[in-house]
Amino acid sequence: MTTDADMNFISGMSAFESKEFIRAVQFLLPFAEKGDPDAQHRVAIMYQNGLGMVKKEALAFKWMKAAADQGHAVAQHGLGFMYMDGDCVEKDGAKAVEWFSKAADQGLVGSMTTLAMMYESGDGIEKDPEKAKELYAKAGF
């Protein structure tokens, strides 16, 4: 049986996918506040990019980290990019590697590839061609 809460969550996710961000945040923010990592991830994206609201970097970081801390692989990937690019948070190559590694360990190919490129170029971390090669192979390249 579908509850009102289930319907609100589904409505929020549908609104997000339909790019109706003002509605999406109204439905998803209460779920984010209750600890739902999917809602937290989407709320973070909306705050990070100013979708349906004013861009708020501190809240974008807060929600992305909350989802990532719960093991949400795509949020871990997103947090890695925040640290790699210095978007919403101070640039930190070591923390970027840490979060990309967590997502890669869950099989996220995009994180494996990003890590490989970082090791290949020495961007934010010590250059390691062997580690880059290993990660590219793991990602299917």
Domain residue spans in the chain? 1-70, 73-141
Average pLDDT, the chain: 96
d(CA 19, CA 131): 39
The DSSP annotation for the chain comes to ---HHHHHHHHHHHHHHTT-HHHHHHHHHHHHHTT-HHHHHHHHHHHHHTSSS---HHHHHHHHHHHHHTT-HHHHHHHHHHHHHTSSS---HHHHHHHHHHHHHTT-HHHHHHHHHHHHHTSSS---HHHHHHHHHHTT-
Note the pLDDT of residue 121: 95
CATH of domain 73-141: 1.25.40.10
**pTM: predicted TM-score of the whole model, two decimal places:** 0.94
Question: Is pLDDT above 90 for 2?
Answer: no
Q: Which pLDDT score, from 0 to 100, does residue 123 have?
A: 85
Express each pLDDT in 45-89 by its tens digit. Answer: 999 999 999 999 999 999 999 999 999 999 999 999 999 999 999
